[in-house]
Amino acid sequence: MEPGVYGRRTPGRHVAGVRRSHRVDARNEPESLIRSSIRTFGEILITFGLIVILFACYEVYGKAYQVNAERDRLNAQLDQQWAAAPPPTSSGQPAEPLPGEGIARLYIPKFDQKWVVVEGVEPDDIELAPGHYPDSQMPNEPGNFAVAGHRLKAMFWDLDKLKTGDTIVVETQTDWYVYTVTKNFITLPTQVSVVAANPENPGQEPTEKMLTLTTCNPKLDNYERLIVWAKQTKSQPQSAGRPAEVQ
């Protein structure tokens, strides 16, 4: 038996073995890079997905705390405002409320919810409260008291559940107004006639006292509008107490 053939490796065989190992590593390197890239891309997608989920949760639930806190503040502010100012003699509200100022309370008994309605529908006005379209009528005026609100969990999230015959109530400094839902439908944002004084017959003089609620549709998006129309069916003064619909 020749030494170095079986008993130990010769230098030549050792070098050859190293060279074969290098050839194997070089052949596997592209596959390793591909696997690493796929793994990194997957981790990025997972991270992005978590960010999207967290943002959606904040939009749905996180803002509820802000809306509720603002609702409490606006309710207290409106009570002080009504207590300090003499009641207006007509229409139930001052003639020209300031943007962002509370002008009424909106109740949806079916949801056991109420909000202060502020004046204006600019982004700052309706960020945390529903707002009155300035060009629309006031409660109890012939025409359309039109109100916009975000599709937030603590605001108009369930507006699609209102059905024909359901009740909506508006409270002003002097009176309560009860409305009955007549229609709930979806339209495009360009269909601005839904908040006209006579939305069913735009351009014609209003003959009824209406309420319109508008919000984004679908939930968490805004390429459509959800519209609720209601007609005033009852009114009573504040001196008579709360109407039975909001007891």
pLDDT digits (tens, 9 = 90+) for 109-158: 999 999 999 999 999 999 999 999 999 999 999 999 999 999 998 999 99
Strand 113-119 versus strand 102-108 pairing type: antiparallel
Average pLDDT over residues 195-224: 95
**Residue 238, burial from CB neighbour count under 10 angstroms (0-12, 13-18, 19+):** middle
Q: What does the pLDDT average to over 52-80?
A: 77
In order of their start, the domains of the chain are 63-246 (2.40.260.10)
Per-residue pLDDT band for 209 (boundaries 50, 70, 90) equals: very high
- Percentage of residues in the chain with pLDDT exceeding 90? 64
Block residue for tokens 């060009």? 135
In DSSP terms, 28 is beta-bridged to none
Question: The pTM is what?
Answer: 0.75
What is the structure's pLDDT at 64? 75
The residue type of 198 is: N
List, in order, residues 6 or more apart from 161 with CB less than 8 Å away: 110, 111
Q: List, for residues 16-51, the tens digit of each pLDDT value.
A: 444 544 554 555 677 777 777 777 777 777 776 666
* 8-17, 28-37, 92-101: least confidently modelled range: 8-17
User: Is the pLDDT assigned to residue 102 strictly greater than 70?
Assistant: yes
Where on the phi/psi map is residue 95: left (φ > 0), alpha (ψ -120 to 50), or beta? Answer: alpha
If pLDDT is split at 50, 70 and 90, which confidence band does 59 have?
low
